[in-house]
Chains A and B, each alone.
Chain A
C-alpha cells in the first residue's frame, strides 16, 4: 500500500497519549525506584541518600513478613477458588435452560457495584451481633469476631474479594466456552459420559489457556487489594489484614516515610511484573503481537 501520511503524522497521533503515559506512568515509575534509595524518616523536606538501607529495614521488619504472608494467603485461598468456581458456574449457565439472563445479571451484579458499598454491606453482615453470627448460633457455633479476631479477619476480607470477582471470571469463561466444538460434547453423550466426565475430559482441557489467564489476572488483582481493607479493617486487628498496597499507602500518606514506602512499592512492582510477563508472553501472546 502506498504511504499516504506525512513523516510526522504517526508521532502527532501518538503524542497526546504519549505525554500522559510519560507524566503519569514512566516518570513515576523511575521516581519510585529513585525514591526508594532515600531516607525520609527524619524530615520529609531533607531526605538523605541511604542506598539500599530501606530494603534492609524492610527485610528486618516483622510487619513486612506479615504483609507478605497475607498476600500469600490471598494467592492460595482466593485465586484457586476464583479460577475453578466461576468455571463450574459458566458450564452450568452455558446451557439452554430458562432464566439464564436473570442468573447472569444477579451473579454479575457484585462486579458492577462499587467495592466501597460492597465492603460496607459485608461489614454489616460481619457485625458482632449481625446476621452471620445469628446463623452461627443457629448451628450451635460460637459467635465469631469476623473482622475483629486476628485469626479470622483476613479470611473475612478474602471472602469479599471472592464474592466480588466470581461474576467477572464467569463471564470470561462463558466467552471462551463458545469456542469448544459442540461435536465433542455430542460424542460424549453417545458414549454415555456423565456431567463430570464430560467436562473433565472436554471442557477443562479446552479451556486450559483461559484457566491460566484467569489465574494470573486474579493473582495480580490479589496483590493490588486496597479498598476492602481501607473500608473494613484499616489493616487491623494486629496487622492481620494488612496487604502490600495498604502498607504502602500507610507508609506514604500517613507516616510520610516516602523512601520506605517506595522501596515497598518496588517490591510490589517486581512481583506484579513477573506475573504480568507470564500473562503477556505466555497466555495472551496473540493480542500483543506487533
Chain B
C-alpha cells in the first residue's frame, strides 16, 4: 500500500463501514439469544449468547418461502414482459417510418414525467374493475401486481438506443435473404441487442423485487405477500421482538445479495451509463 493512498483508503473504509453497519447490527441482533440483553450498554457486535433460534422461530411462524416464491413470480413476469414489450415497441421507433410516429414518441416520453405515485389511485380503481386483485383468485392477483409495471418508457428508450446503434446493412442483408419483418426483428436485431436486454432485465428485476407501494395497496391475502410486504408485516406480528424481526429481515435479504454478487459487473463496472433510471 502506497503511503499517499492511506487517506483515500481511510475515507473509503469509513464510508464502506457506514454503508453496511445497519445490516451488521441487524445481523448481530438476530444471532443473540434470550440470555443476552439486546439493549445492553455498551452494545456488543459479537453475540455473547450465540444462537440460531431466532431464525428457526421466524422460519416456523412466517411463511418466508412463500413470500420469496411470490416475489420471484412477480419479478420474473415483470422482467419478461418488459423485455418483450419494450423491444417490440422500440423497434419501429428506431427503424420504421409511419404516420403518428412523432406523437407516439412524445406520448411515451410523457409517461416518464408521470410518477406512479401520482396516479396510483386510478390505477387501483382500474385494476379493481378489471378484477385483477387477489380476492378474485391468486393468478388474477399476480397479474394485477405485474401489469402496471409490464412496460416502461425507460425500457423502450433504452432498447431504441440499442436498435439505433445497429448498422442498417444488417436488415438489408436479412431482407435479401428472404426474412419477413418479424424475422428481421426476432432473428437478426434482437440477438444483437442482448447486452441492453441484460441491463434492462437486471434493473427491472431489482426494481420489481424491492417494490413496496403497489403490493401494499393491492394485496389483501397474506399468502400473496411479496417479500417487502411480508417483511414489513413482521413488525406487527412480533411487535417488539427485535430478534425475530431482525432474523426475518436478514433472511429476506439473502436472495438479493446473492443476485447482486453474481451480477455485480453490471452494477459496478461503470459501463452502464445508459441504465440511469430517473
Chain A residues proximal to chain B, CB less than 8 Å: 1-7, 9-11, 13-14, 16-18, 20-21, 23-29, 31-32, 35, 89, 92-93, 95, 97-99, 101-118, 120-122, 124-125, 127, 129-131, 134, 137, 163, 166-167, 171-172, 174-176, 178, 213, 217, 220, 223-224, 226-227, 230-231, 245, 248-249, 252-253, 258, 261-262, 265-266, 268-269, 272-273, 276-277, 279-280, 287-288, 290
Task: Tell me the bound Cα distance from A124 to B210 in angstroms.
Answer: 20
B184 part of interface (Cβ distance < 8 Å): yes
Contact B118 A265 (CB under 8 A): yes
Contact A231 B232 (CB under 8 A): yes
Contact A129 B39 (CB under 8 A): yes
Contacts of B136 in A (CB 8 A): none
Task: Tell me the bound Cα distance from A210 to B184 in angstroms.
Answer: 36
Residue of B nearest to A167 (CB): B19
Contacts of A226 in B (CB 8 A): 117, 212-213
Contact B25 A121 (CB under 8 A): yes
Known: A31-B122, A31-B125, A92-B11. A178 touches B270 (CB 8 A): yes
Contacts of B108 in A (CB 8 A): 21
Most A CB atoms within 10 A — which of B18, B25, B276? B276
Task: Tell me the bound Cα distance from A252 to B216 in angstroms.
Answer: 13
Contact A114 B26 (CB under 8 A): no
Contact B22 A108 (CB under 8 A): no
Q: How far is the CB of A164 from chain B (nearest CB, A)?
A: 10
Q: Produce 1/0 per residue, B182-200, CB < 8 A to A.
A: 0011000000000000000
Q: How far is the CB of A64 from chain B (nearest CB, A)?
A: 16
B246 part of interface (Cβ distance < 8 Å): yes
Contact B23 A121 (CB under 8 A): yes
Contacts of B150 in A (CB 8 A): 20, 24
B: number of interface residues (CB 8 Å): 103
Contact A134 B42 (CB under 8 A): yes
B168 part of interface (Cβ distance < 8 Å): yes
Contact A32 B121 (CB under 8 A): yes
Q: How far is the CB of A214 from chain B (nearest CB, A)?
A: 9
Residue of B nearest to A98 (CB): B1
Known: A20-B147, A112-B257, A171-B270. A29 touches B114 (CB 8 A): yes
**Chain A binding surface, main DSSP class:** helix
Task: Tell me the bound Cα distance from A92 to B13 in angstroms.
Answer: 12
Contact A176 B213 (CB under 8 A): no
Other A-B pairs beyond A121-B249, A227-B228, 20, CB < 8 Å: A1-B171, A5-B96, A7-B98, A21-B151, A24-B148, A31-B126, A92-B12, A105-B261, A112-B267, A113-B256, A116-B212, A121-B22, A163-B18, A227-B212, A245-B117, A269-B114, A277-B113, A280-B112, A280-B113, A290-B102
User: A95 touches which one: B8, B147, B273 (CB < 8 A)?
Assistant: B8
B237 part of interface (Cβ distance < 8 Å): no
Chain B residues proximal to chain A, CB less than 8 Å: 1-2, 5, 8-9, 11-12, 15-16, 18-20, 22-23, 25-26, 29, 39, 41-43, 84-86, 88-89, 91-93, 96-98, 101-102, 104-105, 107-109, 111-115, 117-126, 147-148, 150-151, 153, 156-157, 161, 168, 171-172, 175, 181, 184-185, 206, 209-210, 212-213, 216-217, 227-229, 231-232, 234-235, 242, 245-246, 249, 252-253, 256-257, 260-261, 264, 267-268, 270-274, 276, 278
Contacts of A9 in B (CB 8 A): 92, 96, 181
Contacts of B1 in A (CB 8 A): 98
Contact A21 B111 (CB under 8 A): yes
Contacts of A174 in B (CB 8 A): 270
Contacts of A16 in B (CB 8 A): 84-85, 88-89, 151
Task: Tell me the bound Cα distance from A274 to B57 in angstroms.
Answer: 50
Contacts of A28 in B (CB 8 A): 119, 121-123, 126
Known: A23-B126, A105-B261, A217-B276. A134 touches B210 (CB 8 A): no
Contact A17 B23 (CB under 8 A): no
Contact A258 B117 (CB under 8 A): no
Contact A18 B278 (CB under 8 A): no
Contact B111 A103 (CB under 8 A): no
Q: How far is the CB of B86 from chain A (nearest CB, A)?
A: 7
Contact B270 A17 (CB under 8 A): no
Contact A268 B118 (CB under 8 A): yes
Contact B256 A114 (CB under 8 A): yes
Most A CB atoms within 10 A — which of B19, B86, B273? B19
Task: Tell me the bound Cα distance from A18 to B15 in angstroms.
Answer: 44
Known: A120-B235, A280-B109. A105 touches B181 (CB 8 A): no
7 closest Cβ pairs, A-B complex: A28-B122, A10-B92, A121-B22, A31-B122, A17-B89, A276-B113, A28-B119
